[in-house]
């Protein structure tokens, strides 16, 4: 058994993202995983808390408190924190390239070049990130995002009562969950809500950074962050899901996890013109506000079970379990 260490980057309990998902699946494949948390974990009496078999959360920077088996594998996704990995000698370094170091992630430029050059293996979530890293390291592999398929597939059918904070006016729900950030095209959201007073627009998630001119219309609902376990309870009532991202140098390199999660529930998805989502061939891609609105209205009443079953098949083929199996295969080539 080899040990994977994820240095302090994000709070495990904040928003369940790629690191938690893929490292949990690697733990199920037999790796011992230590996920270092920046904040205080729920049981503050313990430095180390076991989440499930082979998966542990470590409170703070207790690198010297963990028991390493085999070769220490450092799984790093945050370039500015590169210095933290120097604590470990004779390590195997994996750089998980998940975002382009520009705009909102401009701070990632710090150490980015060093990490590219020193990594034993680089996993890239998108073609743009693959090409960027391939210039500096020959051991670069595509490892797109995926879905916690079983978790979100339960939302294919209605399985529980309408959550208390969803609108009760019986209008179709256009839904989004994830970080509410500056990379969302809020002007597009405002346009859609204004054009479609017969729809509810529901946004679930924490505000990530400062947003100017947040749309405020009576058919837009901001419900705040929800626990990961509760998301399917909301998703089951979404009539269509949206990914209204701006098209920038940063988002052109992103592979939104939410796309796979939405598809797991058999939901129609309308998105702006994100390159990685075109590859799935089932996302309704829009190149203009008008086209986005037209796509939205076209699919809002989609009752085709054949289409929905196709969405589910694609999501299942892109599960985190499958992603972890591929990562394990690559790691075994080098260790």
Q: What tens digit of pLDDT does each residue of 135-145 get?
A: 999 999 999 99
Of 11-25, 70-84, 96-110, the poorest mean pLDDT is in: 96-110
Alpha-carbon span 217 to 232, nearest angstrom: 25
Residues 83 and 238 sit within 8 Å (Cβ to Cβ): no
Between 15 and 274, name the one with better pLDDT.
Answer: 274
**Mean pLDDT, to the nearest integer, of 243-269?**
95
CB 25 within 8 A of CB 324: yes
Q: Which CATH class is domain 149-317?
A: alpha beta
pLDDT at residue 161, rounded to an integer: 97
pTM of the model: 0.92
Are 182 and 213 in contact, with CB atoms under 8 Å apart? no
Write down the mean pLDDT value for the chain: 91
Token pair recorded at residue 143 = 């490892």
* pLDDT-wise least confident of 7-11, 48-52, 273-277: 7-11
Per-residue pLDDT tens for 246-257?
999 889 989 999
Which range scores top for mean pLDDT: 8-17, 22-31, 109-118?
22-31
Residue 103: pLDDT band by 50, 70, 90 thresholds?
low
* pLDDT at position 229 over 70: yes
What class, spelled out in words, does domain 3-146+319-334 have in CATH?
alpha beta
pLDDT of 42 higher than 70: no
Predicted confidence band at 66 (pLDDT cuts at 50, 70, 90)?
Answer: confident
Report in angstroms the alpha-carbon separations of 58 from 7, 42, 48, 206.
10, 11, 5, 24
pLDDT confidence of residue 188: 98
Residues of the chain within CATH 3.40.50.2000 domain(s) are: 3-146+319-334, 149-317
Q: Which pairing describes strands 72-76 and 3-6: parallel, antiparallel, or unpaired?
A: parallel
Tokens of 323: 């992603």
């Amino acid at each position: 058994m080899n040990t994977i260490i994820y240095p302090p980057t994000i709070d495990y309990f904040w928003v369940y993202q790629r690191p938690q998902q893929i490292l949990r699946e690697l733990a199920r494949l037999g790796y011992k995983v230590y996920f270092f948390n920046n904040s205080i974990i729920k049981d503050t009496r313990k430095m180390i808390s076991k989440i499930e078999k082979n998966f542990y959360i470590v409170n703070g920077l207790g690198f010297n408190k963990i028991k390493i088996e085999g070769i220490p594998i450092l799984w790093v996704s945050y370039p500015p924190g590169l210095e933290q990995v120097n604590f470990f000698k004779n390590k195997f370094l994996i750089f998980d390239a998940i975002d382009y170091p520009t705009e909102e992630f401009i701070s990632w430029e710090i150490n980015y070049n060093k990490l590219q050059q020193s990594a034993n293996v680089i996993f890239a979530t998108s073609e743009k990130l693959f090409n960027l890293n391939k210039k500096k390291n020959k051991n670069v592999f595509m490892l797109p995002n995926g879905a916690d398929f079983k978790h979100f597939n339960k939302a294919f059918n209605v399985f529980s009562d309408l959550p208390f904070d969803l609108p009760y006016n019986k209008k179709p729900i256009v839904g989004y969950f994830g970080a509410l950030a500056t990379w969302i095209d809020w002007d597009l959201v405002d346009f859609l809500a204004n054009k479609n007073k017969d729809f509810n627009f529901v946004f679930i998630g924490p505000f990530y950074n400062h947003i100017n001119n947040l749309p405020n219309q009576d058919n837009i609902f901001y419900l705040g962050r929800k626990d990961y376990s509760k998301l399917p309870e909301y998703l089951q009532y979404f009539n269509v899901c949206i990914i209204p991202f701006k098209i920038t140098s940063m988002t052109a390199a992103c592979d939104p996890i939410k796309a796979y999660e939405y598809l797991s529930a058999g939901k129609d998805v309308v998105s702006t013109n994100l390159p990685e989502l075109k590859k799935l061939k089932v996302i309704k891609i829009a190149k203009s506000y008008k086209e986005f609105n037209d796509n939205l209205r076209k699919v809002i009443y989609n009752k085709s079970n054949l289409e929905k079953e196709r969405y589910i098949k694609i999501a299942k083929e892109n599960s985190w379990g499958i992603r972890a199996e591929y990562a394990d295969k690559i790691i075994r080539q080098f260790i």
